[in-house]
Structure 1
Amino acid sequence: MLKTSLIAILLTSTALVSGCASKLSGESYSRDEARQVQTVRMGTIESLRPVKIEGTKTPIGAGTGAVIGGIAGSGVGGGRGSAVAAVIGAVAGGMIGAATEEGLTRTQGVEITVREDDGVMRAYVQALNPNETFHVGDRVRITNVKGTYRVSR
């Protein structure tokens, strides 16, 4: 029973954490950004650099890990030893859960340095989009809606 409960909690938490992964590519828009006026600037790509975009750090990963660790720890020993093991398991599980969430939601990105038509050079970071590849020398458009910038061709 305990093993089944742990597996169910782990699968549920993985689904929740995966659902929390943000969409950081140039083609993703939030509901608030849809149907909003965007400013558009044009430019030419000067350089591209691969980067890693860190994952989310919400209470979901740590909380789920703490619950699983606490349940697992409470099954160790008996009496007062069981309570101590539950606390240690909860703390360790929380740390492992937080690290797991961050790792699962980490994204590969690209830093795109653009010389815009006004002569200013700016860098933009966004998640890699398999449907759109960039090359040095490409003409691109930079859109801004509510402070969120996107580079697209």
Structure 2
Amino acid sequence: MIHRKEMNMLKSALRTLVAAALVTGTLAGCATSDSAAVYSKGQMRQAQNVEFGTVVSVQNVLMEGNNNELLTLGGAALGGIAGSTIGQGRGAAAGTIVGALAGGFGTQAAQRNLGTKNALEITVKLDRSGRMLSIVQEADIPFAVGQRVKVLTGGGNDRVAPL
């Protein structure tokens, strides 16, 4: 039989886990954009090479969310705190360990799943060299086979943009 004190501790632990899940979900949604139409502040006023080409293939893919170690650590800490309220003595220690593992793994999974985006793998044949290249970027701009595009490269932020 569960005593009132234990029930209150379980309710408190559950509230903590729900709050952690909400914070994790909110922060995972604040990830940076991988869109060809969005530039970070650090990319401003940076020269990029421009080549023109033709789209030869467009493939729908999924872009996995990023893992933020600080969020994972926070999830583990909150899970450990919540787990420590279960039992007494060795039971509380075991609850802390299990809660920390569950919180850490749960936070990692939430980051991967909540941050997953639809993306496109765009293969382009460049006009000048005839070279083929493929770039994966967020699927917020539609592309079609045969479409004329420009490919911007430089600084590790390559992108395909319509003409």
1:133 alignment counterpart: 142
Provide, for residues 70-126 of structure 1, a one-character-per-residue CA deviation record: whole Å limited to 9, x for no partner: 122112111221121111110122111111111111121111111110211111111
The total of aligned residue pairs comes to 150
Provide, for residues 27-86 of structure 1, a one-character-per-residue CA deviation record: whole Å limited to 9, x for no partner: 111111111122110000011111111210121332232123212211211122112111
1:61 alignment counterpart: 71
Instruction: Give, as a single letter, the amino acid of the residue that structure 2 aligns with 1:79.
Output: G
Larger Rg: 2
> SS where residue 32 of structure 1 aligns?
helix
- Report whether the alignment pairs 1:33 with 2:62: no
Quote the Cα distance in structure 1 between the aligned partners of 2:98 and 2:19: 21
Task: Note if contact 1:25-1:126 (Cα within 8 Å) is conserved in structure 2.
Answer: yes
Q: CA deviation at 1:4?
A: 4.0
1:92 alignment counterpart: 102
2:24 alignment counterpart: 13
Provide, for residues 8-31 of structure 1, a one-character-per-residue CA deviation record: whole Å limited to 9, x for no partner: 333223222222x22111111111
* Aligned-pair identity (%): 37
- Report whether the alignment pairs 1:111 with 2:121: yes
Supply the RMSD in Å over aligned alpha carbons: 1.7
TM score, norm. by length of structure 2: 0.83
Please list every run of 5 or more consecutive structure 2 residues that lacks an aligned counterpart in the other structure. Answer: 1-10
Task: Note if contact 1:49-1:110 (Cα within 8 Å) is conserved in structure 2.
Answer: yes
> SS where residue 124 of structure 1 aligns?
strand
- Report whether the alignment pairs 1:51 with 2:28: no
Quote the Cα distance in structure 2 between the aligned partners of 1:60 and 1:105: 16
Please list every run of 5 or more consecutive structure 1 residues that lacks an aligned counterpart in the other structure. Answer: none
Quote the Cα distance in structure 2 between the aligned partners of 1:92 and 1:5: 13
TM score, norm. by length of structure 1: 0.88
